[in-house]
Amino acid sequence: METILEQEQVSAMPRIGDSAPPFEAVTTQGTVNFPEDYSGKWVILFSHPADFTPVCTSEFITFAHLEEKFNKANCELIGLSIDGLYSHIAWLRTIKEKIKFKGMENVEVKFPLIEDISMSVAKKYGMIQPGESKTQAVRAVFFIDPKGIIRAIIYYPLSLGRNFKEIYRALIAMQTTDAFNVATPADWHPGDDVILSPAGSCGVAEERMGKDNGDIECEDWFFCTKKLDKDEVLSTVLKK
């Protein structure tokens, strides 16, 4: 029977704003020291339940197909499951040689896939959810910034494949927030208006509500947006 401490170790998870828990792990691309090896880069660390499962296979094909797109946004991908290294290698070889999904085929997965038989990394990141499974990692996605800080977390149940357009959109939105000191509204994409931080004083609020305010538009003192050119966003956040 599990002790309370063991249960807490399984279900604990870091929070947004925390430093990413460090680890050293064997992967399909050699040993990784995280997050030191990725200093200065964004990282998407994601887990999946098991090798040779159909939903995971569709996700790895999609991530591998999009890897270059993420790399151009200064972002590296790292996968994890609690299967062993040889299982990983055999599965990724099968994906390349046999699996076709949505027109994508002969896809080679080049980003690291962590071996985590002991579940040590999965437990550090709260990827084991006992209510879902005590022996498989749920579909977690951690966005970790160039300083090693966790900026966003998305969790999916074992049965639900991830939305990769949303993962990429979230990455670009957070980079835009950092670069331009703005916030992004619902369903934001590059080229859409961005949101200004609420006015910190009556004077700023009155100024924003003035008629001649350049490209700033205010519905009320606390809800102000401004235009941000798509090309300016992309040239700033994407590597050339």
Question: Hey, which residues are catalytic here?
Answer: 56
The C-alpha atoms of residue 128 and residue 8 are separated, in whole angstroms, by 11
Do residues 199 and 222 make contact, with C-beta atoms less than 8 angstroms apart? yes
What is residue 62's three-state secondary structure? helix
CB 95 within 8 Å of CB 61 = yes
The Cα–Cα gap between 23 and 67 comes to 23
Tallying the residues shown for the chain, one arrives at 240
DSSP designation for 77:
E
Residues 6+ apart with CB under 8 A from 15: 150, 153
* Residue 162 labelled as part of a binding site: no
- CA dihedral for 237, 56, 20, 155, sign (positive or negative): positive
Q: How many helices (H) and strands (E) does the chain have?
A: 7, 12
Binding-site members are 139
Binding-site members for substrate are 139
